[in-house]
Amino acid sequence: MFSRPEDAGFLPVAQLGSLVATLTALGYQCLGPAVEHGAIVMRELDAPDAIPRGLQAEQAPGSYRVTRDPHDRYFAWANGPQAIKPLAFAPQESLWRVERDAAGALQFAAVLPEPRAQAIIGVRACDLAALALQDAHFLREGRRDAHYARRREKLFLVAVQCAEPGATCLCASTGDGPTPTAGYDLALAELADGFVAMAGSANGEAVLEALNLAPATRQQLDMAQKQGQDAAASQVRSLPGHNLRDALMSRLEHPRWDDVAARCLACGNCVAVCPTCFCHAEGDEPAMNGQSSEHARIWDSCFGEAHAHLHGFDVRPDIRTRYRQWLTHKLATWHDQFGRSGCVGCGRCIAWCPVGIDLTEEVAALTDSSGQPSPGPSPRSSTPSGHRGPASGRGG
Ligand code: SF4
Ligand code: SF4
Protein backbone atom coordinates (compact mmCIF):
# COMPACT_ATOMS: atom_id res chain seq x y z
CA MET A 1 0.00 0.00 0.00
CA PHE A 2 2.70 2.47 0.87
CA SER A 3 5.34 3.98 -1.32
CA ARG A 4 8.23 2.72 0.92
CA PRO A 5 6.92 -0.18 3.00
CA GLU A 6 10.42 -0.96 4.29
CA ASP A 7 10.25 2.29 6.31
CA ALA A 8 6.81 1.63 7.80
CA GLY A 9 6.41 1.59 11.58
CA PHE A 10 3.71 0.13 13.76
CA LEU A 11 1.76 2.28 16.22
CA PRO A 12 -0.01 0.12 18.83
CA VAL A 13 -3.68 1.01 19.22
CA ALA A 14 -3.18 2.16 22.83
CA GLN A 15 -0.65 4.73 21.63
CA LEU A 16 -2.80 6.62 19.11
CA GLY A 17 -2.94 9.46 21.61
CA SER A 18 0.85 9.79 21.41
CA LEU A 19 0.48 10.79 17.75
CA VAL A 20 -1.87 13.61 18.74
CA ALA A 21 0.43 14.59 21.63
CA THR A 22 3.48 14.64 19.34
CA LEU A 23 1.75 16.78 16.74
CA THR A 24 0.51 19.14 19.44
CA ALA A 25 4.03 19.43 20.88
CA LEU A 26 5.26 20.34 17.40
CA GLY A 27 2.82 23.25 17.38
CA TYR A 28 -0.07 21.85 15.36
CA GLN A 29 -3.70 22.37 16.18
CA CYS A 30 -4.98 18.79 15.78
CA LEU A 31 -8.29 18.16 14.03
CA GLY A 32 -10.01 14.79 14.09
CA PRO A 33 -13.44 13.26 13.60
CA ALA A 34 -16.39 14.49 15.65
CA VAL A 35 -20.14 14.19 15.24
CA GLU A 36 -21.91 17.49 14.68
CA HIS A 37 -25.52 17.89 13.53
CA GLY A 38 -25.68 14.16 12.78
CA ALA A 39 -22.63 14.03 10.52
CA ILE A 40 -18.92 13.28 10.91
CA VAL A 41 -16.89 16.48 10.61
CA MET A 42 -13.32 17.50 11.43
CA ARG A 43 -13.03 19.45 14.67
CA GLU A 44 -10.25 20.39 17.08
CA LEU A 45 -9.22 17.58 19.42
CA ASP A 46 -9.09 18.96 22.94
CA ALA A 47 -6.99 16.07 24.32
CA PRO A 48 -4.62 13.42 22.91
CA ASP A 49 -7.18 10.68 23.58
CA ALA A 50 -10.12 12.62 22.13
CA ILE A 51 -10.38 10.72 18.82
CA PRO A 52 -13.70 8.86 19.14
CA ARG A 53 -13.87 5.08 18.63
CA GLY A 54 -16.56 3.14 16.81
CA LEU A 55 -17.94 5.85 14.55
CA GLN A 56 -19.34 4.71 11.25
CA ALA A 57 -21.62 6.28 8.65
CA GLU A 58 -24.26 4.61 6.51
CA GLN A 59 -24.57 6.38 3.18
CA ALA A 60 -26.97 6.00 0.26
CA PRO A 61 -28.36 8.32 -2.42
CA GLY A 62 -29.90 11.23 -0.53
CA SER A 63 -29.11 9.69 2.84
CA TYR A 64 -26.39 9.84 5.50
CA ARG A 65 -26.64 8.42 9.00
CA VAL A 66 -24.00 8.06 11.73
CA THR A 67 -23.92 4.50 13.08
CA ARG A 68 -21.69 2.33 15.33
CA ASP A 69 -18.85 0.15 14.08
CA PRO A 70 -19.27 -3.30 15.66
CA HIS A 71 -15.46 -3.67 15.73
CA ASP A 72 -15.04 -0.37 17.57
CA ARG A 73 -12.30 0.92 15.30
CA TYR A 74 -11.19 4.53 15.16
CA PHE A 75 -11.49 5.09 11.42
CA ALA A 76 -14.19 2.69 10.24
CA TRP A 77 -16.23 5.59 8.86
CA ALA A 78 -16.25 6.73 5.27
CA ASN A 79 -15.98 10.45 4.65
CA GLY A 80 -18.38 13.05 6.03
CA PRO A 81 -19.74 16.06 4.13
CA GLN A 82 -16.45 18.00 4.25
CA ALA A 83 -12.81 17.27 4.87
CA ILE A 84 -9.88 19.36 3.71
CA LYS A 85 -11.47 21.75 1.20
CA PRO A 86 -12.77 24.41 3.62
CA LEU A 87 -9.44 24.39 5.47
CA ALA A 88 -7.51 25.46 2.38
CA PHE A 89 -10.19 27.18 0.26
CA ALA A 90 -12.18 29.14 2.85
CA PRO A 91 -15.97 29.20 2.26
CA GLN A 92 -15.95 32.96 2.80
CA GLU A 93 -13.07 35.38 3.33
CA SER A 94 -11.97 38.95 2.74
CA LEU A 95 -9.44 39.44 -0.04
CA TRP A 96 -8.81 43.14 0.36
CA ARG A 97 -10.12 46.17 2.16
CA VAL A 98 -10.44 49.83 1.29
CA GLU A 99 -10.58 52.70 3.80
CA ARG A 100 -11.01 56.41 3.51
CA ASP A 101 -8.10 58.23 5.18
CA ALA A 102 -8.24 61.57 7.04
CA ALA A 103 -7.83 63.47 3.76
CA GLY A 104 -10.72 61.51 2.20
CA ALA A 105 -8.48 59.47 -0.12
CA LEU A 106 -9.13 55.76 -0.55
CA GLN A 107 -6.42 53.42 0.78
CA PHE A 108 -6.41 49.83 -0.43
CA ALA A 109 -4.78 46.97 1.50
CA ALA A 110 -4.66 43.22 1.03
CA VAL A 111 -6.28 41.17 3.79
CA LEU A 112 -4.19 38.03 4.20
CA PRO A 113 -5.04 35.18 6.58
CA GLU A 114 -2.67 34.20 9.39
CA PRO A 115 -3.70 30.55 9.82
CA ARG A 116 -2.44 28.24 12.55
CA ALA A 117 -0.53 25.12 11.60
CA GLN A 118 -3.16 22.38 11.50
CA ALA A 119 -2.80 18.59 11.52
CA ILE A 120 -5.85 16.80 10.11
CA ILE A 121 -6.10 13.24 11.36
CA GLY A 122 -8.27 10.94 9.25
CA VAL A 123 -7.90 12.33 5.72
CA ARG A 124 -9.03 9.93 3.00
CA ALA A 125 -7.35 9.06 -0.29
CA CYS A 126 -10.13 10.72 -2.32
CA ASP A 127 -9.58 13.97 -0.45
CA LEU A 128 -5.82 13.88 -1.04
CA ALA A 129 -6.53 13.51 -4.77
CA ALA A 130 -9.02 16.38 -4.56
CA LEU A 131 -6.50 18.57 -2.77
CA ALA A 132 -3.99 17.94 -5.55
CA LEU A 133 -6.60 19.27 -7.99
CA GLN A 134 -7.31 22.29 -5.80
CA ASP A 135 -3.54 22.90 -5.71
CA ALA A 136 -3.41 22.69 -9.51
CA HIS A 137 -6.08 25.39 -9.69
CA PHE A 138 -5.07 27.76 -6.89
CA LEU A 139 -1.29 27.38 -7.00
CA ARG A 140 -0.72 27.32 -10.72
CA GLU A 141 2.38 28.99 -12.05
CA GLY A 142 1.97 32.73 -12.35
CA ARG A 143 -1.50 32.78 -10.73
CA ARG A 144 -0.79 31.66 -7.20
CA ASP A 145 -3.64 32.48 -4.84
CA ALA A 146 -2.01 33.92 -1.70
CA HIS A 147 -5.00 33.19 0.54
CA TYR A 148 -5.18 29.53 -0.45
CA ALA A 149 -1.38 29.18 -0.36
CA ARG A 150 -1.11 30.49 3.20
CA ARG A 151 -3.66 27.97 4.48
CA ARG A 152 -2.40 25.11 2.36
CA GLU A 153 1.22 25.35 3.49
CA LYS A 154 0.16 25.11 7.14
CA LEU A 155 -1.58 21.74 6.72
CA PHE A 156 -0.12 18.47 8.00
CA LEU A 157 -2.14 15.59 6.57
CA VAL A 158 -2.52 12.30 8.42
CA ALA A 159 -4.20 10.05 5.87
CA VAL A 160 -6.05 6.87 6.78
CA GLN A 161 -6.73 3.92 4.53
CA CYS A 162 -10.49 3.37 4.06
CA ALA A 163 -11.09 -0.19 5.16
CA GLU A 164 -14.87 0.10 4.97
CA PRO A 165 -15.97 2.39 2.14
CA GLY A 166 -19.52 3.71 2.13
CA ALA A 167 -22.12 2.45 -0.32
CA THR A 168 -21.75 5.75 -2.20
CA CYS A 169 -17.95 5.54 -2.57
CA LEU A 170 -16.47 4.99 -6.03
CA CYS A 171 -12.81 5.95 -5.59
CA ALA A 172 -11.54 2.56 -6.80
CA SER A 173 -13.03 3.26 -10.23
CA THR A 174 -11.52 6.76 -10.45
CA GLY A 175 -8.12 5.42 -9.35
CA ASP A 176 -7.96 7.64 -6.25
CA GLY A 177 -8.48 5.22 -3.35
CA PRO A 178 -9.28 3.61 -1.03
CA THR A 179 -5.60 3.38 0.00
CA PRO A 180 -3.64 6.65 0.12
CA THR A 181 -0.61 6.54 -2.13
CA ALA A 182 0.53 10.18 -2.40
CA GLY A 183 -0.02 13.66 -1.02
CA TYR A 184 0.09 12.79 2.70
CA ASP A 185 2.57 13.63 5.43
CA LEU A 186 1.73 10.50 7.34
CA ALA A 187 -0.46 7.55 6.29
CA LEU A 188 -2.06 5.03 8.60
CA ALA A 189 -3.71 1.68 7.93
CA GLU A 190 -5.79 0.58 10.90
CA LEU A 191 -5.51 -3.08 11.92
CA ALA A 192 -7.20 -4.68 14.92
CA ASP A 193 -4.30 -3.98 17.28
CA GLY A 194 -2.76 -0.81 15.85
CA PHE A 195 -1.73 1.17 12.81
CA VAL A 196 0.80 0.58 10.09
CA ALA A 197 2.34 4.04 9.73
CA MET A 198 4.35 5.51 6.86
CA ALA A 199 5.77 8.98 6.28
CA GLY A 200 5.20 10.74 2.96
CA SER A 201 7.15 13.94 3.61
CA ALA A 202 10.09 15.27 5.63
CA ASN A 203 7.59 16.62 8.19
CA GLY A 204 6.00 13.20 8.41
CA GLU A 205 9.40 11.56 8.91
CA ALA A 206 10.10 13.92 11.81
CA VAL A 207 6.85 12.88 13.47
CA LEU A 208 7.56 9.17 12.91
CA GLU A 209 11.03 9.61 14.38
CA ALA A 210 9.60 11.34 17.45
CA LEU A 211 7.15 8.45 17.90
CA ASN A 212 10.05 5.98 17.83
CA LEU A 213 7.94 3.09 16.51
CA ALA A 214 8.97 -0.52 16.01
CA PRO A 215 9.15 -1.45 12.31
CA ALA A 216 5.95 -2.89 10.84
CA THR A 217 6.22 -6.63 10.26
CA ARG A 218 5.77 -8.28 6.87
CA GLN A 219 2.52 -9.78 8.16
CA GLN A 220 1.19 -6.35 9.20
CA LEU A 221 2.12 -4.87 5.82
CA ASP A 222 0.42 -7.74 4.00
CA MET A 223 -2.71 -7.33 6.12
CA ALA A 224 -2.84 -3.61 5.34
CA GLN A 225 -2.40 -4.29 1.66
CA LYS A 226 -5.12 -6.95 1.59
CA GLN A 227 -7.44 -4.70 3.56
CA GLY A 228 -7.10 -2.03 0.87
CA GLN A 229 -7.70 -4.53 -1.92
CA ASP A 230 -10.79 -5.90 -0.18
CA ALA A 231 -12.11 -2.39 0.39
CA ALA A 232 -11.66 -1.56 -3.31
CA ALA A 233 -13.44 -4.77 -4.31
CA SER A 234 -16.34 -4.02 -1.95
CA GLN A 235 -17.33 -0.76 -3.67
CA VAL A 236 -20.70 -1.07 -5.37
CA ARG A 237 -20.61 2.11 -7.44
CA SER A 238 -18.26 3.07 -10.24
CA LEU A 239 -17.63 5.34 -13.17
CA PRO A 240 -16.18 4.02 -16.43
CA GLY A 241 -12.41 3.93 -16.01
CA HIS A 242 -11.70 5.86 -19.20
CA ASN A 243 -11.92 9.50 -20.28
CA LEU A 244 -15.61 10.39 -20.70
CA ARG A 245 -14.97 13.62 -22.53
CA ASP A 246 -16.07 12.57 -25.99
CA ALA A 247 -18.85 10.34 -24.69
CA LEU A 248 -20.49 13.21 -22.80
CA MET A 249 -19.73 16.11 -25.13
CA SER A 250 -21.27 14.22 -28.05
CA ARG A 251 -24.52 13.85 -26.08
CA LEU A 252 -25.32 17.45 -25.18
CA GLU A 253 -28.87 16.99 -26.53
CA HIS A 254 -29.51 13.59 -24.90
CA PRO A 255 -33.05 13.36 -23.42
CA ARG A 256 -31.55 12.27 -20.09
CA TRP A 257 -30.63 15.91 -19.36
CA ASP A 258 -34.39 16.73 -19.30
CA ASP A 259 -35.00 13.72 -17.08
CA VAL A 260 -32.40 14.73 -14.49
CA ALA A 261 -33.50 18.39 -14.69
CA ALA A 262 -37.01 17.33 -13.66
CA ARG A 263 -35.54 15.81 -10.46
CA CYS A 264 -32.77 18.29 -9.66
CA LEU A 265 -33.66 21.16 -7.29
CA ALA A 266 -30.63 23.27 -8.31
CA CYS A 267 -29.83 23.57 -4.60
CA GLY A 268 -26.07 23.32 -5.16
CA ASN A 269 -25.48 20.80 -2.35
CA CYS A 270 -23.48 18.60 -4.71
CA VAL A 271 -21.14 21.49 -5.46
CA ALA A 272 -20.78 22.50 -1.82
CA VAL A 273 -19.73 19.01 -0.73
CA CYS A 274 -17.61 18.16 -3.77
CA PRO A 275 -13.95 18.37 -2.72
CA THR A 276 -12.79 19.39 -6.19
CA CYS A 277 -15.28 22.21 -6.95
CA PHE A 278 -13.56 25.59 -6.72
CA CYS A 279 -16.07 28.09 -8.12
CA HIS A 280 -16.45 31.28 -6.18
CA ALA A 281 -18.01 34.71 -6.45
CA GLU A 282 -16.58 38.03 -5.28
CA GLY A 283 -18.45 41.01 -3.93
CA ASP A 284 -18.09 44.13 -1.81
CA GLU A 285 -19.40 44.68 1.70
CA PRO A 286 -19.37 48.40 2.41
CA ALA A 287 -19.59 49.65 6.01
CA MET A 288 -22.74 51.59 6.89
CA ASN A 289 -20.72 54.77 7.62
CA GLY A 290 -19.23 54.83 4.12
CA GLN A 291 -15.66 54.89 5.45
CA SER A 292 -14.55 51.37 4.48
CA SER A 293 -15.46 48.34 2.43
CA GLU A 294 -14.36 44.69 2.38
CA HIS A 295 -13.94 42.81 -0.88
CA ALA A 296 -14.90 39.21 -0.12
CA ARG A 297 -14.78 35.85 -1.84
CA ILE A 298 -17.49 33.26 -1.21
CA TRP A 299 -18.06 29.72 -2.56
CA ASP A 300 -20.40 29.75 -5.54
CA SER A 301 -22.16 27.11 -7.58
CA CYS A 302 -22.82 26.53 -11.27
CA PHE A 303 -26.40 25.70 -10.25
CA GLY A 304 -27.06 29.33 -9.27
CA GLU A 305 -28.72 31.75 -11.66
CA ALA A 306 -26.16 34.52 -11.07
CA HIS A 307 -23.24 32.23 -11.90
CA ALA A 308 -24.36 31.98 -15.52
CA HIS A 309 -25.29 35.65 -15.91
CA LEU A 310 -23.08 37.33 -18.49
CA HIS A 311 -23.54 40.83 -19.86
CA GLY A 312 -27.30 40.99 -19.56
CA PHE A 313 -28.32 37.43 -20.39
CA ASP A 314 -28.11 33.96 -18.89
CA VAL A 315 -25.91 31.49 -20.71
CA ARG A 316 -27.46 28.64 -18.73
CA PRO A 317 -31.08 29.67 -18.24
CA ASP A 318 -32.51 26.44 -16.82
CA ILE A 319 -31.69 23.47 -14.57
CA ARG A 320 -31.08 21.23 -17.58
CA THR A 321 -28.19 23.37 -18.80
CA ARG A 322 -26.83 23.93 -15.28
CA TYR A 323 -26.78 20.24 -14.36
CA ARG A 324 -25.26 19.52 -17.76
CA GLN A 325 -22.60 22.16 -17.14
CA TRP A 326 -21.75 20.60 -13.78
CA LEU A 327 -21.50 17.02 -15.03
CA THR A 328 -19.76 17.76 -18.30
CA HIS A 329 -17.26 20.04 -16.64
CA LYS A 330 -16.57 17.57 -13.85
CA LEU A 331 -16.20 14.49 -16.05
CA ALA A 332 -15.37 15.86 -19.49
CA THR A 333 -13.75 19.28 -19.82
CA TRP A 334 -11.66 18.89 -16.65
CA HIS A 335 -9.53 16.67 -18.84
CA ASP A 336 -8.73 19.76 -20.95
CA GLN A 337 -7.92 21.86 -17.90
CA PHE A 338 -6.16 19.42 -15.61
CA GLY A 339 -5.43 16.29 -17.63
CA ARG A 340 -7.82 14.16 -15.61
CA SER A 341 -11.44 13.91 -14.51
CA GLY A 342 -12.67 16.24 -11.77
CA CYS A 343 -14.22 13.34 -9.87
CA VAL A 344 -12.13 11.60 -7.22
CA GLY A 345 -14.89 9.17 -6.28
CA CYS A 346 -15.79 10.40 -2.79
CA GLY A 347 -19.52 9.88 -3.38
CA ARG A 348 -20.52 12.97 -1.42
CA CYS A 349 -22.63 14.44 -4.21
CA ILE A 350 -24.71 11.24 -4.15
CA ALA A 351 -25.26 11.06 -0.39
CA TRP A 352 -25.88 14.79 0.10
CA CYS A 353 -28.21 15.36 -2.85
CA PRO A 354 -31.61 15.86 -1.23
CA VAL A 355 -33.33 13.97 -4.05
CA GLY A 356 -30.69 11.25 -4.35
CA ILE A 357 -29.36 12.01 -7.83
CA ASP A 358 -26.47 9.63 -8.44
CA LEU A 359 -23.86 10.74 -10.97
CA THR A 360 -22.91 7.12 -11.72
CA GLU A 361 -26.51 6.41 -12.77
CA GLU A 362 -26.69 9.58 -14.82
CA VAL A 363 -23.46 8.72 -16.62
CA ALA A 364 -24.66 5.17 -17.27
CA ALA A 365 -27.94 6.47 -18.70
CA LEU A 366 -26.21 9.11 -20.81
CA THR A 367 -23.62 6.73 -22.21
CA ASP A 368 -25.66 3.52 -22.29
CA SER A 369 -23.34 2.26 -19.54
CA SER A 370 -20.49 1.92 -22.00
CA GLY A 371 -19.04 5.38 -21.63
CA GLN A 372 -18.27 5.23 -25.35
CA PRO A 373 -19.02 8.17 -27.64
CA SER A 374 -21.96 7.94 -30.01
CA PRO A 375 -21.96 9.35 -33.51
CA GLY A 376 -23.03 12.97 -33.23
CA PRO A 377 -21.80 16.52 -33.36
CA SER A 378 -18.11 17.18 -32.94
CA PRO A 379 -17.16 17.25 -29.24
CA ARG A 380 -15.58 20.63 -29.76
CA SER A 381 -18.50 22.24 -31.57
CA SER A 382 -20.48 25.06 -29.97
CA THR A 383 -23.38 24.32 -27.67
CA PRO A 384 -26.88 24.80 -29.10
CA SER A 385 -27.08 28.26 -27.58
CA GLY A 386 -24.05 29.20 -29.63
CA HIS A 387 -21.66 29.38 -26.70
CA ARG A 388 -18.65 27.23 -26.27
CA GLY A 389 -18.03 25.08 -23.21
CA PRO A 390 -16.93 26.43 -19.85
CA ALA A 391 -14.13 28.95 -19.73
CA SER A 392 -10.94 27.71 -18.10
CA GLY A 393 -10.92 28.19 -14.37
CA ARG A 394 -14.54 29.30 -13.95
CA GLY A 395 -16.41 26.11 -13.29
CA GLY A 396 -15.57 23.61 -10.63
S1 SF4 B 1 -18.32 14.61 -8.35
FE2 SF4 B 1 -19.29 13.68 -6.54
S3 SF4 B 1 -18.19 11.71 -6.25
FE4 SF4 B 1 -16.95 12.97 -7.63
S5 SF4 B 1 -15.49 14.07 -6.29
FE6 SF4 B 1 -17.28 15.44 -6.53
S7 SF4 B 1 -18.64 14.95 -4.81
FE8 SF4 B 1 -17.13 13.29 -4.96
S1 SF4 C 1 -27.97 17.32 -8.28
FE2 SF4 C 1 -28.93 17.19 -6.21
S3 SF4 C 1 -27.50 18.29 -4.85
FE4 SF4 C 1 -26.99 18.89 -6.96
S5 SF4 C 1 -28.18 20.77 -7.34
FE6 SF4 C 1 -29.45 19.04 -8.07
S7 SF4 C 1 -30.76 18.51 -6.30
FE8 SF4 C 1 -29.08 19.78 -5.49
pLDDT one-digit tens code per residue, 209-248: 999 999 999 999 999 999 999 999 999 999 998 999 999 9
Secondary structure element (H or E) that encloses residue 261, with its range:
helix 256-263
DSSP at 338: H
- Cross-strand pairs, 108: 98
- Report how far residue 345's alpha carbon sits from residue 322's, in angstroms, rounded to the nearest whole number: 21
Q: How far is the CA of 238 from the centre of ligand 2 (A)?
A: 19
Q: How far is the CA of 355 from the centre of ligand 2 (A)?
A: 7
**For 15-72, what is each residue's pLDDT tens digit?**
999 999 999 999 999 999 999 999 999 999 999 999 999 999 999 999 999 999 999 9
Residues 6+ apart with CB under 8 A from 232: 172, 177, 178, 179
Q: Which residue, by CA, sits nearest to atom 8 of ligand 2?
A: 267
Among all ligands shown, which has an atom nearest to the Cα of 346?
A: 1
- Report how far residue 56's alpha carbon sits from residue 70's, in angstroms, rounded to the nearest whole number: 9
Neighbours of 10 (CB within 10 A): 18
- Report how far residue 256's alpha carbon sits from residue 370's, in angstroms, rounded to the nearest whole number: 15
Share of the chain above pLDDT 70, in %: 92
pTM recorded for the entire structure: 0.91
Ligand 2 pocket, Cβ-based, cut-off 6 angstroms: 264-270, 303, 353-355, 357
Q: Which residue, by CA, sits nearest to atom 7 of ligand 1?
A: 274
What integer pLDDT is reported at residue 3 of this predicted model? Answer: 58
β pairing state of 92-100 and 292-299: antiparallel
Angle at 306 between CA 301 and CA 310, to 5 degrees: 115
